[in-house]
Amino acid sequence: MIIDKAEIIVTSPDRNFVTLRITTDEGHVGIGDGTLNGRELAVVAYLKEHVAPLLLGKDAGRIEDIWQYLYRGAYWRRGPVTMAAIAAVDMALWDIKGKAAGMPVYQLLGGASRSGLMAYGHASGKTMPEIFDSVNEHLELGYKSMRIQSGVPGLNAIYGIASQSADTGDSAVRYDHEPARRGALPAQEDWDTRAYLRHIPTVFEAVRNEFGPELPLLHDGHHRMTPIQAAQLGKSLEPYDLFWLEDCTPAENQEALRLVRQHTTTPLAIGEIFNTVWDYQQIIREQLIDYVRSAVTHTGGISHLKKVLDYAAQYQIKSGMHGPTDVSPVGMAAAMHLGLSIHNFGIQEYMQHGAKTNAVFHQTYTWNDGYLHPGDEPGLGVTLDVDEAGKYPYEQAYLPFNRLADGTVHDW
């Protein structure tokens, strides 16, 4: 199984995706996701200029060895661009190994630990009636748990609120609300932490009153609070029994979570912008989090995220893999194979891709009554239709940014 081709395919059906396609001399083809939202072409250059030439002639079966060779050989370690590029290689090699073995990847990882993966969706709205509509729509789609993001009175545009009203049937438009500013400069959003901290508990109170105590509810703070503000929010949300509060403080200051933990029993999830096990070392060892949020795509692939999750398992910390629409169907499938096989699965984020994306990436994973399953095709179970991909050339796109009322840039 010698690698004789490594191609990088960029396509933008509903949004930009970067896919690495590896072919072996025996004709096995594997694909991996290297999409880094808003900085896609940095990964493309890394893969094309620095990784693809190194892969040619290598034995595709030596996944761990190739991982270590790319990681250690570069000398410059970690970081989202490097780790997304290595992830794309790792996923493609697992895909090939599965195809060569005639088995779905989850079988190679130890087999299924459960029958399906509970997934949460993104309910959101500017106002309470909009949020209730969105929760009801998600219930109709089968979701058994959901994240709630709300507008804040006095703020015009903030992270996580679907820009389209509930009446459009196009899920790509409904859920693909960030960045979705293709061809334009970054959108500016507003922020006021005190207004947010006053408003969010009232939202969760209303949702609990309307939908009852059973529904698992999540919330994403998107790195916007200081430690003491996060502690305050966690405490004020305790009566509403959250499944988790995500990214309550900026992820790079891990010690901040000690202070948050001292004040609240609301479970904490963090890690969608982490890239390696070393980013998690302290917060796992000190049990400062309850869920690991990394995507397979941004954490060096299946091989490396499995190491993070196995380490987390020693501390009863579970998975909560990142799954917004900027993770391609290939990255989603990789998450499902990993999630199905590990013992410490927690929940999977699942926003659902749009029709154009699904026509480019043919999937065999299934969504059934609130649960995902990767399917039983050999490999990852996703194929890339290269002709279809070619219809959608790359479009520059940026994530938004925040300013406070006085003009100061703030985490968004």
State the number of CA atoms in the 13 A half-sphere of 109 facing the CB.
30
In the list Mg ion, ligand GCO, none, the entry touching 326 (Cβ below 5 to 8 angstroms by class) is ligand GCO
- What's the closest the beta carbon of residue 273 comes to Mg ion, in angstroms? 9
Q: Does the active-site annotation cover 222?
A: yes
Contacts with Mg ion by CB under 5 A: the residue count is 2
The mark string for 327-366 relative to ligand GCO (x by CB under 6 A, - otherwise) is ----------------------x-----------------
220 binds ligand GCO (CB under 6 A): yes
In the list Mg ion, ligand GCO, none, the entry touching 37 (Cβ below 5 to 8 angstroms by class) is ligand GCO
The 3-state secondary structure of 46-76, one letter per residue? HHHHHHHHHHCCCECCCHHHHHHHHHHHCCC
Residue 349: beta bridge partners?
A: 120
Residue spans of alpha helices (H) in 74-181: 80-101, 105-108, 128-140, 171-175
Site for ligand GCO in 69-98 (CB under 6 A): none
Q: Determine which one of 122, 138, 219, 222 is catalytic.
A: 222
CA 377 – CA 254 distance, rounded (Å): 40
CA 289 – CA 203 distance, rounded (Å): 24
Site for ligand GCO in 279-338 (CB under 6 A): 322, 324, 326
- What's the closest the beta carbon of residue 274 comes to ligand GCO, in angstroms? 13
37 binds ligand GCO (CB under 6 A): yes
Nearest to 243 by CA among 327, 139, 318, 337: 318
Nearest to 9 by CA among 24, 38, 30: 30
Q: Determine which one of 120, 159, 240, 350 is catalytic.
A: 159
In the list Mg ion, ligand GCO, none, the entry touching 224 (Cβ below 5 to 8 angstroms by class) is none
The alpha carbon dihedral of 394, 349, 122, 187 has a sign of negative
220 binds Mg ion (CB under 5 A): yes
Site for ligand GCO in 172-211 (CB under 6 A): 178
- What's the closest the beta carbon of residue 127 comes to ligand GCO, in angstroms? 21
Please return the burial class of 113, using the count of CB atoms within 10 Å of its CB with bins 0-12, 13-18 and 19+. Answer: middle
Host H or E run for residue 146: strand 146-150
Residues that bind Mg ion (CB under 5 A): 220, 272
Residues that bind ligand GCO (CB under 6 A): 37, 178, 220, 222, 272, 322, 324, 326, 349, 399
Catalytic residues: 159, 222
